[in-house]
Amino acid sequence: MALSQPSARGRLLLWPRLLLLGDSLTEHSFEEGGWGAHLADRLVRKCDVVNRGISGYNTRWAKLILPRLITESTSAENIVAITIFFGANDSALKDLNPKQHVPLEEYAANLKSMIQYLKSVNITEDRIILITPPPLQESAWEKACLAKGDKLNRCNATTGEYAQVCVQVARDCGTDVLDLWTLMQKNQDFSSYLSDGLHLSAKGNSFLAAQLWSRLENKLSALPSLLPYWRDVDHTNPEASLL
**Cβ contacts of residue 63 below 8 Å, gap of 6+?**
110, 113, 114, 117
- In the set 28, 38, 101, 199, the catalytic residue is 199
Element (H, E) at 223: none
> Is residue 38 among the annotated active site residues?
no
Q: Are 29 and 58 in contact (CB under 8 A)?
A: no
Q: Are 75 and 82 in contact (CB under 8 A)?
A: no
- In the set 24, 192, 206, 241, the catalytic residue is 24
Q: What backbone torsions phi and psi does residue 177 show, to the nearest 5 degrees?
A: -150, 145
> Is residue 90 among the annotated active site residues?
no
Q: Are 162 and 87 in contact (CB under 8 A)?
A: yes
> Is residue 199 among the annotated active site residues?
yes
Q: Are 51 and 20 in contact (CB under 8 A)?
A: yes
- In the set 113, 179, 196, 201, the catalytic residue is 196
Active site residues: 24, 196, 199
